[in-house]
Structure 1
């Protein structure tokens, strides 16, 4: 497997990109320290709009402070109340202020209306349930989400030790997600994975998307002491996860010619299939200083 960068585009006025989903002609990008969901043209990457998720007085500098930001790190397409197509945005859960989510309703194909926030979600009980399944002393740090045909997948990024974990929740149980303080389904599957290392530091899940019955993931390596502090970024990987046998195959993200990419990929989406076993991905990055870029990369399976 190889993952080769074809281009990199700066995303000005879009701070700290943390996830991306492509639906129709639009790439939706979430930020971990901004109150907006950003819309890009999926083909050209030109900005086309933004949706305000919540009100805040702390965005004057262009970034919500670390102590109070909701840390929206993951996003997945789901059906909401009444079967409305939309996006589920989730905080990381690493702090009480980060145990929130939002459901954004998307317009029907061809409709002229804009996406809109339908509901703010309290994820505290659900996250307490997930946290209880982790080894003692492990900080919950949900960094990626995806939906298969039957499940919502929430991916844990370990920092400073601990397993790389994937939680699987039945999609049919998500009808209760929109009730006050939902505690989750009766059973949550937890799968653990071994991820690659760089300089002794293990990669952690950072993005996920389910396409053609395959779970594509991004993983980045950061020399950080915990789930809140930032650390030196050592590089990123793209991988394919096999849920049935709990195995994952990874390729280090590199430029054409083989030079390793040293940035932090925070999310990925499949932009198109080029040929059997060859896909073009759209990835978003965060430099921990408020800057974001979009990478177009080709994956050869």
Structure 2
């Protein structure tokens, strides 16, 4: 996993502050942390479709009001979209059914409170940035970018429903600042993750971007096996598998530009197995 190639793949007009993406059925589903749309970019004909996630969908929502959708994951035939939980209005889960196109919304306040209790997080320290759903367990990736925060993974066993475990994860540093999780996916019993280094100790305020790491975690023991610094300037916030061959994995990444511009750059990351 030492060799990699990073290149610009798409420049999509109409989406701002991309925070997560999912490749499925030749479509790229994208969420934005300041929007209440699920975007579907059709790669076969280069068209963009919007799916409203509530009755009054908006774009470029003010920071204090946004739902802060940061995580996107596939659960059977549904796309699950999760807010970060970093403030009271960011406790929402939305789902999109790939066949019926039905949208459902759930209040996730109580599970988020359970997450905070499990990891002894104070108010304002919870910041979920990635989600992986398997038949037996769900994994929530905590971005520990507060002064006393810790990176880690919350594990929910499906047979317990509300009982979480928390596994602290130590990530690499740049200039003494530890990287923090921004997304993760599961490929062949391995977790592949992104972790950005940002000069801030707030789940709310942005800071200077120092780079992004890509890494691999063993699913069975949740131990980091590899990390690579893939950029010294980009803050990548979303990752999805694009193609897999015997010798290579190709991922698509999205970048949160932290501006009001409705344009999003999608990058392709190629990793040698």
Runs of at least 5 residues in structure 1 that lack an aligned partner in the other structure? 80-84, 108-112, 174-184, 254-259
If the length of structure 2 is used for normalisation, what is the TM-score?
0.91
Partner Cα separation in structure 2 for residue 284 and residue 116 of structure 1: 25
For the pair 1:77 / 2:63, whether they are aligned, the reply is no
CA contact (8 A) 1:169 1:188 kept: yes
Deviations 1:2-43 (A, max 9, x none): 332032432221011111111221111111101210111357
Cα pair 2:131 2:185 within 8 Å, conserved: yes
- Please point out which of 182, 193, 208 is paired with 2:169: 193
The partner residue of 2:229 within 240, 252, 257 is 252
Q: 2:255 aligns with which of 285, 288, 299?
A: 285
Q: Gaps spanning 5+ residues in structure 2: where?
A: none
> Which of the numbers 131, 142, 160 marks the counterpart of 2:146?
160
Aligned-partner SS, 1:275: coil
CA separation in 1, counterparts of 2:180 and 2:80?
A: 21
- Structure 1 residues 297, 252: closer, same or farther in 2, change over 3 A? same
In the TM superposition, residue 53 of structure 1 has moved relative to its aligned partner by 0.6
What is the match of residue 17 of structure 1?
18
Report runs of 4+ in structure 1 exceeding 3 Å deviation.
135-138
CA RMSD of aligned residues (A): 2.0
Matches for 1:151-230 after TM superposition, within 5 Å: 151-161=137-147, 162-171=149-158, 185-230=161-206
User: Secondary structure, in 3 states, of the residue corresponding to 1:194?
Assistant: coil
The residue that corresponds to 2:92 in the other structure is: 100
Asked whether the equivalents of residues 8 and 265 of structure 2 are also in contact (C-alpha less than 8 Å), the reply is no
Q: Report the Cα distance in structure 2 between the residues aligned to 1:221 and 1:34, rounded to whole angstroms.
A: 24
| CA deviation profile, 1:240-293 (whole Å, cap 9, x unmatched) | 11133331121111xxxxxx44111111011011323x2010111111113521
Check if 1:298 corresponds to 2:270. Answer: yes
In the TM superposition, residue 124 of structure 1 has moved relative to its aligned partner by 0.4
What is the match of residue 116 of structure 2?
131
| In structure 2, distance between residues paired with 1:20 and 1:232 | 23
Measured against aligned partners, the alpha-carbon deviations of 1:217-249 in whole angstroms (never above 9, x if no partner) come to: 111111123101111111111111113333112
C-alpha distance in structure 2 between counterparts of 1:97 and 1:217, whole Å: 26
* Aligned CA distance change for structure 1 residues 217 and 15 (closer, same or farther; 3 Å): same
Q: Distance in 1 between matches of 2:110 and 2:131?
A: 18
Q: Do the aligned partners of 1:148 and 1:213 also contact (CA within 8 Å) in 2? A: no
Which among 61, 65, 77 is matched to residue 64 of structure 1?
A: 61
How far off its partner does 1:146 sit?
1.2
The number of residues matched between the two structures is: 267
What SS does structure 1 have at the residue aligned with 2:13?
coil
Aligned 8 A contact 1:282 1:295 in 2: yes
